Structure 1
């Protein structure tokens, strides 16, 4: 281990849909599950925001 290991940029964790999961450890799978749950929550929030904007616009133009 080098003294400069902390200086290297850390690889951002990402998950590609359909990728081979057999090479991942149980801990890595858990991390990916958490990552995907956070992304689902972010998507649901954005969807709710867009639905609210659409509803507001529809009620304004009636």
Structure 2
């Protein structure tokens, strides 16, 4: 996925993260970064799942 695939926002944190130079980081810092990013991915997945479930509930309500 290219950086151009992301929506353009004034403060696009994902694009900023992708541009950061990782060379100066130690293995411990890189490992901590991965853990933080994985936690954020999990949080985002839970949000998507909640939104999908909410939508399905609303759709079911209006079909009744």
Q: TM class, shorter-chain normalised? A: 0.7 to 0.9
Report the RMSD for the aligned CA atoms in angstroms: 1.3
Q: Which of structure 1's runs of 4+ aligned residues deviate more than 3 A?
A: none
Question: How do residues 14-25 of structure 1 correspond to structure 2 at under 5 angstroms?
Answer: 16-25=17-26
| Count of aligned positions | 48
TM-score (norm 1): 0.72
Which protein has the bigger helix share?
2
TM-score (norm 2): 0.70
Structure 1 gap ranges (5+): 1-14
Structure with the larger RCO, 1 or 2 (CA within 8 Å, 6+ apart): 1
Larger Rg: 1
